[in-house]
C-alpha cells in the first residue's frame, strides 16, 4: 500500500498491540480512528502469557549484563527472535478472531516488549521485530515509537499522553488519568498544556512479591495487602529516593526500585505486599503534589484499578479528589494501552506529535514511529 495514499485518508482500521511492564499477557485492540478526535473500538482481546513464557521473559531481563551497556543491548537483541515469535503467535490468533480480511486492516501499531529503559543513558529497548512481523503478515506495521523522541532529547516515555488527552477531552475537565500498570504514570491535559510523567512502581513490586511468596500473578483485589501491616522504615526509605525529588518530565525502568524487592522478600509475606502497595500509593500522592494542578477527579486505568486495597488507599489519601475507574466511561481499562498504540500509529502516519517537552522532555513537540511496509 502506498504510504502517501494512506496518509491522505481520514480514518484507518488499525490494530494496536501492547505487552506492558507487568509482562502478564498481550493486549490487542482493533479500532477505527483518525488519530485525533475519533475512535471507534471494534473488537479487543487479551491473551495471557503461558507460565513458561513469563518465566523465560523474567530470566531474559534478570540475566542481562549489568555494568556494560553495549553488551546489555547486544544480549537483548540476541533474544529478540524468541519474543517476536511469541508476538506473532498471538497476533495471528487475534486476526482469526476478528475474522476480517487482511486488506481491510490498514496498519498494526506495535509497542514491543520493554526490556530496558534507561533515561539517563538515553536508551529504551522494546523487543519484537516489526520488520519480521511485516514480512510474515504482509500488513503495514508502525513501531519504534520512542526512538525519534530519544534522538531529540526526550526520555522516550511515557509515550501515550495524546491518547489520554483524547479521552480527557471527551469525558471531563480538571481531571487526570493515572495508568496503574507495572509502572504508574499520570497525564494531565488542559487547553494550554499537556503534562505526563512516570510516578513510581504501580503493580511491579506487588506482582513480583505475590509471585515470589504465592506463585500467583497478582494480589487479587489487594487481599494479601489488606491482611498485612506497614513496615514504616522501608516506606520512609522509599520516599527519600532521588527519583521523587526530580521534577517532571521523568520516566522509570521497571527494575529501578528492585532493591526494595530484595529487602521485602525477607519480611513477612503479607506485610511485604502491604508495604509495596503503600509504596505505589505514596508514589501517586507525591506525583500529584509535584503536578501542582487543581485536579477534581482522577480516572484510573491499568490492572491496578482492580486492586481494592490500592484504590481505597489512594482515595483515603486524596480525599478531596474523586477517584474513578476508566470502565465507568465505557473503556476497558485492561486494553486502553492497546487502543493507544493503534491511535499513535495513525498519528505517526500523519506526522502528528506523539510527545512534547512536558511529556517526555523532548526539545520540541515531535512525531515518532517508523513504518515497515
Task: List phi, psi (to 5°) of 146.
Answer: -95, -15
Cβ(218)–Cβ(205) below 8 Å: no
Per-residue confidence (pLDDT) for residue 279, from 0 to 100: 98
CA angle 97, 103, 106 (to 5 degrees): 90
16 vs 25: CA distance, rounded Å: 14
Q: Has residue 91 got a pLDDT over 70?
A: yes
- Tell me the three state secondary structure of residue 319: coil
Per-residue confidence (pLDDT) for residue 23, from 0 to 100: 82
Q: Has residue 6 got a pLDDT over 70?
A: no
Per-residue confidence (pLDDT) for residue 101, from 0 to 100: 81
Which of 7-21, 96-110, 291-305 comes out lowest in average pLDDT? 7-21
Per-residue confidence (pLDDT) for residue 4, from 0 to 100: 47
Amino acid at each position: 500500500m502506498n504510504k502517501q495514499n494512506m496518509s491522505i485518508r481520514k480514518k484507518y482500521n488499525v490494530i494496536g498491540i501492547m505487552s506492558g511492564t507487568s509482562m502478564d499477557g498481550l493486549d490487542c485492540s482493533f479500532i477505527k480512528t483518525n488519530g485525533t478526535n475519533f475512535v471507534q473500538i471494534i473488537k479487543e482481546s487479551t491473551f495471557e502469557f503461558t507460565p513458561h513464557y513469563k518465566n523465560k521473559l523474567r530470566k531474559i531481563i534478570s540475566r542481562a549484563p549489568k555494568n556494560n551497556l553495549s553488551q546489555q543491548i547486544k544480549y537483548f537483541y540476541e533474544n529478540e527472535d524468541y519474543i517476536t515469535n511469541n508476538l506473532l503467535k498471538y497476533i495471528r490468533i487475534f486476526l482469526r478472531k476478528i475474522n476480517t480480511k487482511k486488506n481491510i486492516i490498514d496498519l498494526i501499531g506495535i509497542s514491543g516488549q520493554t526490556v530496558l529503559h534507561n533515561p539517563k543513558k538515553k536508551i529504551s529497548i522494546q523487543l519484537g521485530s516489526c520488520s519480521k512481523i511485516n514480512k510474515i503478515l504482509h500488513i503495514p506495521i508502525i513501531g519504534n515509537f520512542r526512538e525519534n523522541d530519544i534522538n531529540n532529547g526526550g526520555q522516550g516515555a511515557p509515550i501515550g499522553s495524546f491518547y489520554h488527552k483524547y479521552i480527557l477531552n471527551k469525558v471531563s475537565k480538571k481531571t487526570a488519568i493515572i495508568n496503574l500498570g507495572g509502572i504508574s504514570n499520570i497525564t494531565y491535559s488542559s487547553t494550554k498544556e499537556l503534562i505526563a510523567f512516570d510516578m513510581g512502581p504501580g503493580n511491579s513490586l506487588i506482582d513480583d512479591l505475590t509471585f515470589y511468596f504465592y506463585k500467583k500473578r497478582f494480589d487479587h483485589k489487594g487481599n494479601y495487602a489488606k491482611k498485612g501491616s506497614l513496615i514504616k522504615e522501608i516506606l520512609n526509605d522509599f520516599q527519600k529516593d532521588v527519583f521523587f525529588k526530580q521534577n517532571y518530565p521523568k520516566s522509570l525502568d521497571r527494575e529501578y526500585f528492585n532493591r526494595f524487592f530484595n529487602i521485602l522478600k525477607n519480611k513477612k509475606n503479607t506485610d511485604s505486599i502491604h508495604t509495596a502497595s503503600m509504596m505505589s500509593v505514596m508514589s501517586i500522592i507525591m506525583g500529584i503534589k509535584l503536578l501542582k494542578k487543581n485536579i477534581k477527579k482522577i480516572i484510573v486505568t491499568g490492572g491496578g484499578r482492580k486492586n481494592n486495597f490500592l484504590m481505597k488507599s489512594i482515595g483515603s489519601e486524596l480525599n478531596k479528589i474523586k477517584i474513578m475507574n476508566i470502565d465507568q466511561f465505557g473503556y476497558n481499562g485492561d486494553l486502553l494501552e492497546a487502543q493507544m498504540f493503534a491511535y499513535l500509529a495513525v498519528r505517526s502516519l500523519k506526522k502528528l506529535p506523539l510527545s512534547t517537552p512536558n511529556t517526555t522532555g523532548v526539545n520540541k513537540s515531535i512525531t515518532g514511529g517508523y513504518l515497515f511496509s
